Amino acid sequence: MREEEKKPSSPMKPSLKRALRKRWVFPAVYLTSAAVILAGVLWFQNNNDAKPKDEYQYSQDAPGTSSKEDESIPVNEAVEHVAMPVLDPNTVEIKTPFYDYAASKEEQEAALVFYNNTYHPNRGIDLVMKDGQPFDVTASLSGTVTKAEKDPILGYIVEIDHNNGVVTVYQSLANVEVKAGDTIKQGQIIGKAGQSAFNKEAGTHVHFEIRQNGKPVNPLDYVDKPVTTLTESNAQKENAQDENKQNTTKGESQDKSSSDDQSMDESDTNQDASYNAPDSSIGMAKA
């Protein structure tokens, strides 16, 4: 019995005893346990924050709150106003006005250009300096130069495309300072006013045109107005034409007697219109 009592119940290895006697063992164990606990806490918080983060990202994509949607909204840009093609509009005057088919007979006569024994309706306006001196010609609007070349009758010609079917034309130039393909800004000098064989009576001048979908319009109707008025007026004309076509189609669906009466009325109207419309060959060969 005494020998059994002398035997230890749970003997400890000598190497473990030596390790536990060292001072750094317990602090190391403590720090390791703390690191494990801290890592577990952070992992748990990250898992809990994952769902709110997804909800926040979803709300960012919701209509009216998405940052991408805000970026897609275009910033309001200043719309250019049509400008006279000179540095100082107060120093020039109109030598030959635009030929308006709805104008009076006197106004139409003032807008005719005589060339090669024929009178031609002026498709733009001819500007001259009040003192008769040469002057710089500038771009009426920003755009891309589509033509810059010399014509034996019209002088140097520059055409600028401004998108949406709007084109400005500059003729009777003595020289040009741009070339086809150039992107220019409004007010940039494109050449100098000169003379042309087509309108000798105008002297040193620049012939300025505005075309909407290839059709010349009176520049004075749009100077100092937003360029968008050109496209808006064209859209209104197209709508009016569509309405006229629709009305014509409805008229054709009426009974035969009404259709005959309408045809007679339209015939009389066409005769009146042709009578009132100015002759496109005004001043054809001058005797």
The number of CA neighbours under 13 Å toward the Cβ of 15 is 0
| Strand pairing report for 125-129 and 206-212 | antiparallel
Handedness of CA 125, 131, 134, 140 (dihedral sign): negative
Question: Do residues 79 and 226 touch, judged by C-beta distance below 8 A?
Answer: yes
Mean pLDDT in residue range 134-148: 97
In percent, the amount of the chain with pLDDT more than 70 equals 61
- Read off the pTM: 0.60
pLDDT band of residue 103 (cuts 50, 70, 90) is very high
Query: Can you read off the two tokens belonging to residue 181?
Result: 């393909």
Residue 276 has pLDDT above 60, yes or no: no
Mean pLDDT (the chain) is: 77
Residue 74 has pLDDT above 50, yes or no: no
Domains in the chain: boundaries:
89-218
Residue 116 has pLDDT above 90, yes or no: yes
Mean pLDDT in residue range 105-131: 96
Is 227 or 35 the better-scoring residue by pLDDT?
Answer: 227
**Element (H or E) spanning 168, and its range?**
strand 166-176
Helix extents (H) in 178-255? 228-252
Top CATH class, 89-218: mainly beta
Query: Can you read off the two tokens belonging to residue 66?
Result: 């998405």
Note the pLDDT of residue 206: 98
Residue 173 has pLDDT above 50, yes or no: yes
Question: Do residues 231 and 164 touch, judged by C-beta distance below 8 A?
Answer: yes
Instruction: Tell me the C-alpha distance between 219 and 208, whole Å.
Output: 8
Per-residue model confidence as pLDDT tens digits over 84-100 = 999 999 999 999 999 99
Instruction: Tell me the C-alpha distance between 228 and 80, whole Å.
Output: 9
> What one-letter code names the amino acid at 120?
H
- Residue 96, Cβ density class (10 Å: 0-12 exposed, 13-18 middle, ≥19 buried): buried
| Strand pairing report for 112-115 and 118-121 | antiparallel
Mean pLDDT in residue range 150-179: 97
Per-residue model confidence as pLDDT tens digits over 222-270 = 999 999 999 886 555 555 444 555 554 555 545 544 445 544 454 444 4
Cβ partners under 8 Å of residue 123, min gap 6: 98, 99, 209, 216
Instruction: Tell me the C-alpha distance between 194 and 133, whole Å.
Output: 10
In percent, the amount of the chain with pLDDT more than 90 equals 52
**Element (H or E) spanning 183, and its range?**
strand 183-184
Residue 82 has pLDDT above 60, yes or no: yes
Note the pLDDT of residue 185: 97
Note the pLDDT of residue 77: 62
Residue 282 has pLDDT above 60, yes or no: no
**Beta strands of 84-165 (E only): which ranges?**
92-96, 112-115, 118-121, 125-129, 136-138, 143-151, 155-161
Note the pLDDT of residue 179: 97
